[in-house]
Amino acid sequence: MNWLTATNPRLIGFGIFLLRVTVGIILFVAGAGKALGWFGGIGMQTTLKYFKDDSGISAFWAYVSTYAEFIGGLMLIVGLFTRLSAFALTINMLVAVIILGTKNFFMGGGAYPFTLMIGCLMILLAGPMQISIDNILSRNRELKAI
């Protein structure tokens, strides 16, 4: 019965890995669609127009947001500069939640970016864990220090 209620520390790292890869893929695909039109996306020119017309966001911040998702999502997937990427993406998703507001929060509103924000925050707090490039680089630095 203990296996139903006890925390398994060995699986926490794997759980964070799954969260990191899932959130990373979602944000990478969204960013790639906005920046390059990949995966059925709208491309950068339409993204800039959408940000300006619908949200009043300048081109500079549209680029920052788009490339935070694109590059940050990729970094989460591979676990490189994980905490830095998770921090940038947490802020990016927080801004998305604020802009979308609470109107229709659960139906096309802020619930989706809010969920991604919480996922990024969890990754930020936990770090990359064992299955990551960050962990490999950290171990190599420790070996060189010996």
- Alpha helix segments (H runs only) across 7-58: 9-36, 43-50
Rounded to a whole number, what is the largest CA-CA distance in the chain?
Answer: 57
Does residue 32 register a pLDDT over 80? yes
Instruction: Please tell me the predicted confidence (pLDDT) of residue 2.
Output: 78
Are the C-beta atoms of residues 16 and 129 closer than 8 Å to each other?
yes
Instruction: Please tell me the predicted confidence (pLDDT) of residue 114.
Output: 96
pLDDT in tens, 8-27: 888 899 999 999 999 999 99
In this prediction the pTM is: 0.89
Distance CA 6, CA 10 (A): 12
Q: Where are the domains of the chain?
A: 10-145
pLDDT in tens, 73-127: 999 999 999 999 999 999 999 999 999 888 889 988 899 999 999 999 999 999 9
- CB-based contacts of 21: which residues, under 8 Å, 6+ apart? 76, 77
